[in-house]
Structure formats: C-alpha cells, structure tokens
C-alpha cells in the first residue's frame, strides 16, 4: 500500500485572519455526497495548518482522543483488544490515533479525504518514527477488499461530513470481517439546534432539532466550501442498523475532571451541563 498521500488541492481556499478558510456565506440546504466530499476535501486541505496549530497539542502525535471531553482509548478500551488486529481509521487527520494503535500492537491503516491532513500525517510518521500506512480516499468508497480488517474507528472523522451515513457505514461493514467492531464518535445531535458557542449562557434552542438540512458554507462566488450534516440520535441508530451492524452501546462522555481545553462550543462549563459527543459502539454479526 502506498503510504505517500496525494498532494493537497492545487488551489487552496482564501483564509480568514484566524487561518481557517473564509466563508463568504452560510446557508441551510440540501447537499449530496459528491458536493459534500468535494467541498470538505478542499476545506480540510486549507484548514489543516490552523486546525493542527490550535488542537495538535491536545491531539498529540501518537495518542487516541475520542472527543473534546477528553475521553481517551487508553482509558476507555472501546475497541477492545487491538494487539495483532488490522484496524481501519476513517477520517484520521494527522493520524495520532493510528500511531497510538501501532504502539499498542495493532496494524492500522489511516484514511482521510484530505491530502493536506495526510501531508502532516506523513511528517509526523517521520518525526515520531512511528510509521503507519496513509490512504487518501472518500469514506463512501473504501479502496479495501471485502472482510479485510478486524476493527474500524473514527474519532470525529468523516461521519459528520458525509451526506449518506448509511451508505458509508455499509462500506465499513463490507471491509470488516464477520464479528468486526466499529466505534465512531460524532457531534452529539443536541448540539445542532444551539449556538456554536462554549458559553453556557448560549444554551438556548435557535433552530429545530428535527431540521436535517445540512449546514453549508460558500465562498464569495457562491461555491460550496464546507458541508456538515445533522442527524438525530434515532437517525444514527437507524443508519447503524440499516448497514447491518448490531448496536452495542451509545456513549455520551462526561467532561473529564480538571480538563480545561475549549474546542469550539465544547468547554468545561458547557460540558458540565449537557453532552457534546455521541459515541456509537457496534459490531457485525458473526
């Protein structure tokens, strides 16, 4: 497997003063799989330096952080025994989770749609001396053989950004061996109808929880540059079951005592009042 990622997009998006791609407009409307994948590939290519400068210290170079609440796989053991297992990480970013899995004795494959993120992952492979195979691909079309991995994981990876969650989960089920486990963390659906703010004073409903229209950012020319999809808890359960998985647990991590990190609308103050993350723990029959 080629462990050298493809180059980032040739024409990066214009950046705002904070280093993230500048949004010319924001709307709520339908956005299909191709539009979502194209937009988010370009957005993460452009956003990778700013995102990793802001959060890379918390993510670590070889660590497995499930969520902004601070839950780590070393403590939670949601994947079970990983030593000797082949693991697919979906939406790996700079691949700290896959490098942690490698140190725990697993054989991970780190996949992401963004060449910009994978370029940083390749740099960290070299600097840490913990080399994991890197694969640039869309989660909806995994370039892996049927029944070729034992475990799959996604820590705020591709799932919030795909238009058809059931189709992606069906792809994951295809590459997992019978009895294989999938664990994925996503934005808690209750975050969607509230403002994107860490301040507890902003815990107020400003839109409908049941409005599934994607959040879409456009550039000055009206071209889509970012898409995020909302699903209710029931939607996630139906997607998991519809893809052939058995849902074993739904975890809503509580804020880790003493943790002071703020990520967007995740904060210690807000985390003490409501969940910010939903973790799906499921497996295939057999």
Is 45 domain-assigned? no
What predicted TM-score, i.e. pTM, was given to this entire model?
0.94
Going by their DSSP bridges, the two strands 176-187 and 277-283 should be labelled as antiparallel
Is 167 domain-assigned? yes
Instruction: Tell me the C-alpha distance between 53 and 51, whole Å.
Output: 5
What DSSP assignment string belongs to 38-50? HHHHHHHHHHHHH
- In this prediction, residue 12 carries a pLDDT of 75
- In this prediction, residue 145 carries a pLDDT of 98
Q: 195: domain range?
A: 64-208+231-283
Residue 50 is encoded by which pair of tokens? Answer: 């700013």
- In this prediction, residue 240 carries a pLDDT of 98
Domain count, the chain: 1
Residue 110 is encoded by which pair of tokens? Answer: 């780190």
Residues in the chain, overall count = 286
First to last CA, the chain: 28
pLDDT tens for each residue of the chain, 286 residues long? 444 444 444 467 999 999 999 988 999 999 999 999 999 999 999 999 999 999 999 999 999 999 999 999 999 999 999 999 999 999 999 999 999 999 999 999 999 999 999 999 999 999 999 999 999 999 999 999 999 999 999 999 989 999 999 999 999 999 999 999 999 999 999 999 999 999 999 999 999 999 999 999 999 889 999 999 999 999 999 999 999 999 999 999 999 999 999 999 999 999 999 999 999 999 999 9
What burial class does residue 46 get, using C-beta atoms within 10 Å of its C-beta: 0-12 exposed, 13-18 middle, 19+ buried? buried
Instruction: Tell me the C-alpha distance between 230 and 192, whole Å.
Output: 7
Contact 90, 153 (CB under 8 A): yes
Name, in order, each residue with C-beta under 8 angstroms of 132's C-beta and a sequence gap of 6 or more: 3, 95, 98, 99, 101, 102, 108, 109, 110, 121, 125
- In this prediction, residue 137 carries a pLDDT of 96
Is 220 domain-assigned? no
Is 165 domain-assigned? yes
Is 272 domain-assigned? yes
- In this prediction, residue 19 carries a pLDDT of 94
Contact 238, 247 (CB under 8 A): no
Give pLDDT tens digits for 236-268: 999 999 999 999 999 999 999 999 999 999 999
Is 222 domain-assigned? no
Within the chain, what is the greatest distance between any pair of CA atoms?
51
- In this prediction, residue 8 carries a pLDDT of 43
282 forms bridges with which residues in the sheet? 182, 247
Name, in order, each residue with C-beta under 8 angstroms of 156's C-beta and a sequence gap of 6 or more: 67, 91, 185, 186, 187, 277
Instruction: Tell me the C-alpha distance between 271 and 92, whole Å.
Output: 24
226 forms bridges with which residues in the sheet? 217
CATH of the domain at 186: 3.40.50.150
- In this prediction, residue 11 carries a pLDDT of 65
Is 32 domain-assigned? no
Cβ–Cβ contacts within 10 Å for residue 244, how many?
16
Is 25 domain-assigned? no
Name, in order, each residue with C-beta under 8 angstroms of 173's C-beta and a sequence gap of 6 or more: 182, 243, 244, 245, 284
163 forms bridges with which residues in the sheet? none
Instruction: Tell me the C-alpha distance between 34 and 138, whole Å.
Output: 10
């Amino acid at each position: 497997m080629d462990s050298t990622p493809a180059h980032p997009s040739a024409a990066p998006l214009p950046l705002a003063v904070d280093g993230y791609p500048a949004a010319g407009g924001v709307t709520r409307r339908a956005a299909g799989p191709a539009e979502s994948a194209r937009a988010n590939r370009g957005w993460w290519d452009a956003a990778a330096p700013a995102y990793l400068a802001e959060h890379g210290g918390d993510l670590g170079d070889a660590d497995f952080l499930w969520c902004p609440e601070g839950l780590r796989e070393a403590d939670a053991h949601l994947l079970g025994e990983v030593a000797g297992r082949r693991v697919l990480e979906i939406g790996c970013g700079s691949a700290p989770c896959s490098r942690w899995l490698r140190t725990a004795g697993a054989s991970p494959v780190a996949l992401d749609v963004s060449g910009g993120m994978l370029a940083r992952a390749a740099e960290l492979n070299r600097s840490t001396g913990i080399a994991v195979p890197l694969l640039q691909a869309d989660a909806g079309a995994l370039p892996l053989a049927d029944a070729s991995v034992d475990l799959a994981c996604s820590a705020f990876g591709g799932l919030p950004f795909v238009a058809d969650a059931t189709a992606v989960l069906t792809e994951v089920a295809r590459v997992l061996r019978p009895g294989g486990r999938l664990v994925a963390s996503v934005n808690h659906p209750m975050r969607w109808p509230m403002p994107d703010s860490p301040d507890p004073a902003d815990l107020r409903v400003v839109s409908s929880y049941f409005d599934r229209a994607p959040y879409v950012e456009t550039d000055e020319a009206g071209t889509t540059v970012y898409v995020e999809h909302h699903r209710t808890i029931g939607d996630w359960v139906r997607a998991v079951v519809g893809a052939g998985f058995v849902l074993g647990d739904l975890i809503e991590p509580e804020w880790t005592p003493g943790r002071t990190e703020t990520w967007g609308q995740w904060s210690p103050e807000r985390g003490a009042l409501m969940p910010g993350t939903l973790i799906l723990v499921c497996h295939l029959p057999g």
